[in-house]
Amino acid sequence: MVRVEKILVCNERDLENDGHVALNEQLEALSSSMKVSIHVSWMHPKFAMDDILAASGIIIPNGITNSFEGQVACCKGAREAGIPLLGICGGLQAAAIDVARHLAGLPEANSVEHAPATSMPLVYEDGHSCTRSPQLIRLIPGRYLADLYGSETLEGMVRCGRFVNWQYWSRLEQAGLELLATDAYGKRILGFRLVDHPFYLGVAFLPQFNTTFTDPEPLLSRFIRVASSGTSYH
């Protein structure tokens, strides 16, 4: 059995948050099915930075946090150290802000969820609500998620109404982000990766609730495989 010393989840686990419960359950199931010993450590972002370098992989999960800046710092630490990082929902926001501030030359970039008066709403509210029902997600053909899922669409849970602002996308793309997923109409950015990194990927949907594919969930299992092997995306 290969051992993954630690998967560090940069948020305090909320047992009332079904996304947190489902994520933990998925990681436990993957540990068994993939014969990989996974030690999952949920930690407040403010203190998680001290454990970044000891982690095999970092997850920035969905859910409320009182330290979004701590999550951004965790993304930066993982990126600079070459540690696999998966941002889910709010974690996608943190990853986008990290890239914007530190690679794209947009130091004022922020999310309106955490800084409503920001002068640079890199993550903004588009005015359309999200539901708790699965929605159709378009995976860009020939790119990482489409290849991983073996499909150009999937049904995924998108619960947040805040998304990366297309106004700034060209700057993020120039900094190394690659678009991987949108909503069915191409209006919302739902997934991206940092190309020049072993695994730095953000999704707005919650893979732990993926209903299109049977276990093991492809994205989570690939993340664990990369974290346990020390290899890159492929």
- H/E stretch holding 154 reads strand 153-156
- Identity of the residue numbered 102: H
Residue 31: what pLDDT? 86
Q: Is the pLDDT of residue 214 over 70?
A: no
Rounded percentage of the chain residues whose pLDDT exceeds 90: 74
CA distance 179 to 218: 18
**Beta-bridge partners for 7:** 40, 57
Best mean pLDDT range from 63-72, 136-145, 205-214: 136-145
Q: Is 180 helix (H, G, I), strand (E, B) or coil?
A: strand
The answer to whether 56 and 79 are in contact (CB under 8 A) is: no
Confidence (pTM): 0.94
- At residue 89, φ and ψ (nearest 5 deg) are 60, -105
> Which residue would you say has higher pLDDT here, 106 or 231?
106
Q: Is the pLDDT of residue 93 over 90?
A: yes
**Domains of the chain listed by start with CATH number:** 2-229 (3.40.50.880)
Residue among 93, 96, 34, 31 at smallest CA distance from 61: 93
